[in-house]
Structures are given as C-alpha cells and as structure tokens.
C-alpha cells in the first residue's frame, strides 16, 4: 500500500475550473437553480450527491477547499467555517447535548477554554479540565455520561503534545469521541491516522498563512459531517457559521504552498532553539530532545515537515518580557501581535494575551511563567541574522 503523505494528497488533487481554469471557478451564489422540481425536494432530504441548494449548506468553492482538507487530513469528509471558533463550537455542540460531560485539556486555546468554562454551563454540559499528558488522570475523569475528550495536538503556549493513539484508545473504550485541534501542526501530524474522530482547525493561522482572514474547518467521517449539516438537526446548518466562498477560493490557493511554509517555519524555529540552548536561555521547543514530549511527537509525526514554527522563551518576569518584545519590534524582528502562522515572526506574552482567559492559578499549575514569550517564527530567509538581532534585544 502507498504510504500516506498529506502534501502528496493535496498535490494529487485534480480541481480545475468549469472553463478549464487551473484554479477552480469561484461560485459567488447564495442559492442554486434546479432543472427539475423533484431534485430540489430530494436535495432538501439529503438524498442527492453533488447538488447544491443554498450556500449555508454547501457551495462549490467551499466544497473544493473542504475536499482538499479532507485529502490532507486523510478523513472521508470536511466542512469549512467562518472561524476556528465556529468549527470548534459546532463540533462540540453536535456531539454533546444537555446532561453530557466533556474531559478537556487544561491548556486549550483561550477562546475554547472560555467557551467550555463559561458558555457550556448554559446548556448543562459539564467539562472537567485535566492535564492531558497524565493518561491516568484522563481515565479517572471519565464518567458514564462523558461524550467527548478534547485536546490540542500541540498545546498553547507550552507546546506539549497530546498522546493521540492512547487518548483515542481511552475515548473509544468509553464510547466517547476524541476531538483534536490541529491548528499548530498541519501536515506535521495527521490526527485521523492515530484514531482521532474529529479534527478541528483555525485556518486563520498556518493553513492560510497570510493573516488576511479568519476561517476554520472540521474534518471527519461522512456520517459526522452530514450530521453537522443536516437541514433539520445539524449544528453547522442551524447556527450558520459557514465560510464565505470567496475566502475558500483564496485559502485553497494558499493550501498548495503549506508544505514549503511549514518546512521553513520549522527550520527557522529549530535554528533558534539550538542557538537559545547555546546561550543558556530558558525555552520550550518540541524539536529538542530536552522537551518532555520530543519522543512522543517523533512517534506520531509525518517526516519531513519538522517540529513546527512555535517556540516559547521564558524571561521570568512580565516586565522583562515587555521590554524585550518592544525592543524586538523596534529591531524589525517581527510584530508584537497575537496569532500565529504568519510569514513574519509574531510574538506575545502568553499569560497576558492569548492565555489570559485562563485564571492565574491555573496558569501556574500548567507551569506557565509570567515572563513567557511565545514566538510564531516567520519565514525569514536568513534566520542567523534574526537570531543576532534577538541577542541584541536580550542585552
């Protein structure tokens, strides 16, 4: 059997436009016409393949991008959303009903944490937050009504790795689904190959890579995606977080350069990690053998894309981290901004920005320092030069 590789899967797509354009045509229609009246009725009942009815449900441009994402993720199907949060909240609300329970990682993206902690109680859905790297703790947290385990392949900001093969085993032993946010590690990890049931993405980050839009995706089985967009009961269909098809067309073109970008992000981050080690800086990077999950990541990753573009350094105090970040922006190393996966380096103090939804005591428990700066390393051609500038800023 041919070995699966996500970038081969993207490269082998044949998706030309209706007039032979090498890029699929953009469909900017909200509604679609039918030649025969009964086809419309059948489409409403989900009984026709390849018929488009209304763009909140399906749209050809969204379908091209969704098909490409499903190919990349080695899943049967996918659906694209207007934001990463749109994907995450739709997947969760599709799987869980009132009275259900979720076991989730303590270290998820701030918005995900806030949704689970502050919003889901409205629907009487309970969440137990655990350290996902403690598999016994995960097992102990499971209850008879647990419907979902939720983790991020690479967590923010400490870059811990979820043990996907064991977590999926635990989930399936209890008839629960494992949902994983793979935003930090597209191409590097293919979660479905390790038993993950639903993969969610913020495409705003590496997948699009340009910081010019907000978008998300859900990749899973035909059964799950069809249930999400069921006209009578599907969360995505009824809450309506659909992606604008013009953006789908733009993101699809960027998806075709994702492998080159991921390799360069990874190469640059690895270079910085090695130099940071030499100068004795405290840092987290899963590509280094010192990282607690280095071996775990090696055991689940696809070769050739590196260990990712995210790296965090610990400058102990908030004050020092603020000083260094301002200097780095003035030295044109990159921007003092949240978000990630951009061609320029972005940096922020995690505790005071992207993880600020997480209470300070939980931040401490996670091992997060108030002086932690998270970097999304850019596509710099000469990273040695960037490193020299960083050293100047640390003086």
Helices marked H in 100-163: 110-114, 135-141
The residue ranges that bind ligand PLP (CB under 6 A) are 83-85, 109, 111-112, 152, 156, 181, 183, 202, 204-205, 214, 216
Q: Which residue from 339, 256, 259 is spatially nearest to 306, judged by alpha carbons?
A: 259
Q: Which of 83, 266 has the CB closer to ligand PLP?
A: 83
Helices marked H in 183-334: 222-228, 235-239, 245-255, 258-278, 294-300, 318-330
SS3 content of the chain, % helix, strand, coil (to 5): 40, 15, 45
Smallest distance from the beta carbon of 14 to ligand PLP, in angstroms?
A: 29
Q: Which of 180, 229 has the CB closer to ligand PLP?
A: 180
Q: Which of 177, 205 has the CB closer to ligand PLP?
A: 205
Q: What does the alpha-carbon distance between residue 170 and residue 176 come to, in Å, rounded to a whole number?
A: 8
Angle at 101 between CA 99 and CA 107, to 5 degrees: 145
Q: Nearest-CB residue to ligand PLP?
A: 84
Smallest distance from the beta carbon of 205 to ligand PLP, in angstroms?
A: 6
Strands (E), the chain: 77-81, 101-105, 126-130, 146-152, 177-181, 198-202, 216-220, 283-284, 310-314, 334-336, 345-349, 372-376
Distant-in-sequence, close-in-space partners of 95: CB < 8 Å, separation ≥ 6: 147, 148, 177, 179, 198
Q: Which of 104, 142 has the CB closer to ligand PLP?
A: 104
Smallest distance from the beta carbon of 239 to ligand PLP, in angstroms?
A: 14
Q: Which of 216, 287 has the CB closer to ligand PLP?
A: 216
Smallest distance from the beta carbon of 204 to ligand PLP, in angstroms?
A: 4
Smallest distance from the beta carbon of 67 to ligand PLP, in angstroms?
A: 21
Q: Which of 90, 204 has the CB closer to ligand PLP?
A: 204
Smallest distance from the beta carbon of 199 to ligand PLP, in angstroms?
A: 12
* β-bridge mates for residue 78, sequence order: 219
């Amino acid at each position: 059997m041919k070995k699966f590789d996500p970038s081969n899967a993207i490269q082998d797509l044949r998706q030309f436009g209706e007039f032979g354009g090498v890029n699929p045509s953009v469909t900017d229609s909200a509604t679609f016409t039918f030649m025969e009246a009964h086809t419309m009725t059948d489409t409403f009942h989900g009984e026709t393949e390849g018929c488009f009815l209304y763009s909140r449900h399906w749209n050809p441009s969204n379908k091209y991008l969704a098909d490409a994402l499903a190919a990349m993720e080695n899943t049967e199907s996918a659906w694209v959303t207007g934001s990463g949060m749109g994907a995450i909240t739709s997947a969760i609300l599709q799987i869980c009903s009132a009275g259900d329970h979720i076991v989730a990682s303590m270290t998820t993206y701030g918005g995900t944490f806030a949704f689970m902690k502050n919003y889901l109680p409205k629907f009487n859905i309970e969440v137990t937050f655990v350290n996902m790297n403690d598999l016994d703790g995960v097992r102990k947290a499971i209850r008879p009504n647990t419907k979902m385990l939720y983790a991020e392949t690479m967590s923010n900001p400490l870059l811990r790795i979820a043990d996907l093969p064991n977590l999926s085993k635990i989930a399936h032993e209890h008839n629960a689904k494992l949902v994983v946010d793979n935003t930090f590690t597209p191409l590097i990890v293919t979660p479905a190959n390790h038993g993950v049931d639903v993969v969610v993405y913020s495409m705003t980050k590496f997948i699009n890579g340009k910081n010019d839009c907000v978008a998300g995706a859900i990749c899973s089985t035909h059964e799950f995606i069809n249930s999400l967009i069921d006209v009578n009961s599907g969360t995505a269909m009824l809450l309506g977080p659909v992606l604008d098809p013009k953006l789908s067309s733009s993101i699809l073109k960027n998806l075709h350069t994702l492998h080159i970008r991921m390799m360069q992000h990874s190469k640059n981050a690895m270079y910085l990690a090695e130099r940071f080690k030499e100068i004795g800086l405290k840092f987290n990077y899963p590509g280094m053998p010192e990282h607690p999950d280095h071996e775990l990541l090696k055991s689940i990753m696809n070769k050739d894309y590196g260990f990712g573009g995210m790296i965090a350094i610990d400058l102990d105090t908030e004050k020092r981290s603020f000083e260094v970040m301002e200097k780095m922006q003035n030295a044109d190393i990159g921007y003092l901004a949240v978000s990630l996966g951009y061609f320029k380096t972005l940096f922020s103090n995690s505790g005071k920005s992207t993880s600020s939804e997480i209470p300070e005591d939980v931040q401490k428990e996670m091992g997060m320092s108030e002086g932690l700066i998270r970097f999304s390393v850019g596509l710099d051609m000469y990273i040695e030069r960037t490193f020299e500038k960083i050293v100047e800023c640390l003086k």
